[in-house]
Amino acid sequence: MYCNQAIWRNVSTEDRVHDEKTMTIAKVIVDYGTSKKRLEQREFWCRGGEYIDKWREIAQHENNDGFVFSVDGKARIPRTNFHKHWTAVLELADFDEERKQHIVPYSLRHFCVSQRVMAGLSFIDIAQSLGTSAVEVERTYNHLQDETRNRFATADYTTINNVAVPTKVN
């Protein structure tokens, strides 16, 4: 889904408690016609719902069927405008010039998936949120699991005087 296709009736926020703290999550429904495979509707949740709430307040769109990323709720922001602002954001970011050439809006999806893999979510859970297959997620992101593999391999060891020693197993 291109973010400029999101409509308000498909975007909501909800406060959730996590680690004894309240956070606002965003719930986004991706319609059939705007999903990558165009076969099924899906819903994903993500953190940062407070930004959706703030945008809803600023935008003051009255039409629930209107576009989220729009000046008036009726017309989508043209891609050229989006890319102009994307370029401005990259200029503010601390990336070297060669790296900037390879960062595109889709890079945000890769960053999100990478963070979820490194947080220990299963490929199946990630795939369901993305609307893709676990095989595809594993093929693309399996290399990120080295830290998880290391934790698995050393889970019952402790370090004493810089030497890995098995912990006592009862």
The answer to whether position 86 is within a domain reads no
Q: How many CB atoms lie within 10 A of CB 21?
A: 7
Q: From start to end of 19-56, where are the E strands?
A: 21-30, 42-47
The answer to whether position 15 is within a domain reads yes
The answer to whether position 40 is within a domain reads yes
What is the rounded CA–CA span in Å between residue 83 and residue 169?
57
pTM score > 0.85 for this model? no
Query: Among the residues of the chain, which ranges form H helices?
Result: 49-59, 79-92, 97-100, 107-118, 123-130, 134-141, 146-153
Pair 70, 1 in one domain: yes
The answer to whether position 101 is within a domain reads no
Pair 115, 70 in one domain: no
Pair 15, 63 in one domain: yes
The answer to whether position 99 is within a domain reads no
Task: Burial-class residue 3 by CB neighbours within 10 Å (0-12, 13-18, 19+).
Answer: middle
Q: Tell me: pLDDT of 27 over 90.
A: yes
Half-sphere exposure of 45 (CA within 13 A, CB side): 8
Q: What is the pLDDT of residue 37?
A: 62
Q: What is the mean pLDDT of residues 81-95?
A: 87
* DSSP code per residue over 138-150: HHHHGGGGHHHHH
Show which of 54, 74, 94 is a domain's final residue.
Answer: 74
The answer to whether position 8 is within a domain reads yes
More confident residue, 129 or 35: 129
Pair 9, 57 in one domain: yes
Amino acid found at 14: E
Which tokens sit at 115? 């963070």
The answer to whether position 98 is within a domain reads no
- Residue 39's pLDDT band, with cuts at 50, 70 and 90, is low
More confident residue, 79 or 28: 28
Q: Tell me: pLDDT of 36 over 70.
A: no
Pair 155, 114 in one domain: yes
The answer to whether position 12 is within a domain reads yes
- Sequence-distant (6+) residues with CB within 8 A of 62 are 73
What is the rounded CA–CA span in Å between residue 28 and residue 11?
5
Nearest CA to 79 out of 113, 104, 96 is that of 104
Q: What percent of the chain has pLDDT over 90?
A: 27
- Residue 1's pLDDT band, with cuts at 50, 70 and 90, is very low
- Residue 25's pLDDT band, with cuts at 50, 70 and 90, is very high
Pair 9, 69 in one domain: yes
- Sequence-distant (6+) residues with CB within 8 A of 115 are none
Which residues does residue 160 pair with via DSSP β-bridges, in sequence order? 163
Domain span holding position 32: 1-74
Number of domains in the chain: 2
Pair 67, 126 in one domain: no
